[in-house]
Amino acid sequence: MARVKDDQKIELIYQATMGLVMKHGFTALKMADVAAEAGLATGTVYIYFKDKETLINQLYNYIREKSTGLYAEGIDEEDSFRKSLRRLWKQFFNFSMEHSAEAAFLEQYQRSPYLTGKSKKENNLLMQPFLELLSRGQQEKRLVKLEKEVILSLMIGPVHEMIRSQTNGSLKITPTVIDSTFELIWESVKR
């Protein structure tokens, strides 16, 4: 049998693509570069992905699915709401930092010609674990009375912003900073 079509190669291509998007943005993304970065010949990419559009869309799905699963791991129903929220938020923060390539890709994707109505909706799924936990918080009356979307923004927005600052070089994120930040956020959203 010949060399076997390889799932690992798909991963390779995904990583190469994300890396390039993070470094130079969507605009400069060339299929030849993706292939080179993945250590493959140009044509090989086309064995695994019909065309550039398909590659980008599949990568989007891949990241979305993987991300949601990963950052929301190990939520414990028994924990107090505050503890659960703190844990989820920190996981999200750490995940966003560690996976800045993915995050960069997701962000770029939002304003790209590749974004379709379908993927627009799917995007919301990413925040699903958060929204569910917020629902619980509101039931337990531990959360301020306000639209969940607003509360979500208060929690998620600073994360994005801080990571951007760190990328800029204008902020150094440490565990202590993360902890303090959560405490401040908690002050605003708790009831």
Partner DNA sequence: CATGAATGAGTTTTCATTCAT
Partner DNA sequence: TATGAATGAAAACTCATTCAT
Cα–Cα distance, 74 to 63 (Å, whole number): 19
User: Exactly one of 41, 54, 128, 135 binds its own copies (CB under 8 A); which one?
Assistant: 41
> Is residue 76 near its own copies by the rule CB under 8 A?
no
Q: Which two tokens stand for residue 55?
A: 């590659």
Of residues 144-173, those binding its own copies (CB under 8 A): 144, 146-147, 149-150, 152-154, 156-162, 164-165, 168, 170-171
> Is residue 10 near its own copies by the rule CB under 8 A?
no
Sequence-separated (6 or more) residues with CB below 8 Å from residue 94:
71, 178
What are the angstrom distances between the C-alpha of 26 and each of 29, 78, 101, 167?
A: 5, 43, 12, 17
Cα–Cα distance, 123 to 13 (Å, whole number): 22
Minimum CB distance to DNA, residue 14 (Å): 14
Contact 66, 126 (CB under 8 A): no
Binding-site ranges for DNA (CB under 7 A): 1-6, 9, 28-32, 40-44, 46-48, 50-53
Footprint on this chain of its own copies (rule: CB under 8 A): 2, 21-22, 24-28, 41, 43, 104, 107-108, 110-113, 120, 123-124, 144, 146-147, 149-150, 152-154, 156-162, 164-165, 168, 170-171, 177, 180-181, 184-189
